[in-house]
Amino acid sequence: MPLKKQIPPSASEKLNHVKPSGKKDENFFSLVYEVARQIPKGRVTSYGAIAACLGTRLSARMVGWAMNGAGNVRPKVPAHRVVNRIGMLSGKHHFSPRGSMEKLLRKEGIRVKNDQVVDFDKLFWDPVKELGF
Using CA atoms, how far apart are residues 10 and 108, in angstroms rounded to an integer?
34
113 lies in the site for DNA, by CB under 7 A: no
Nearer residue to DNA within complex by CB, 65 or 131: 65
Identify which range of 14-22, 93-101, 106-114, 121-129 contacts DNA by CB under 7 A: 93-101
Cα 56 to chain centroid distance, Å, stands at 13
65 lies in the site for DNA, by CB under 7 A: yes
Contact 3, 48 (CB under 8 A): yes
Count residues binding DNA (CB under 7 A).
32
Binders of DNA among 69-88, rule CB under 7 A? Answer: 70-71, 79, 82, 84-86
| Residues in contact with 74: Cβ distance below 8 Å, sequence separation at least 6, in sequence order | none
Nearer residue to DNA within complex by CB, 19 or 85: 85
Tell me the closest approach of the beta carbon of residue 35 to DNA, in angstroms: 14
37 lies in the site for DNA, by CB under 7 A: no
Using CA atoms, how far apart are residues 104 and 99, in angstroms rounded to an integer?
9
Using CA atoms, how far apart are residues 13 and 83, in angstroms rounded to an integer?
25
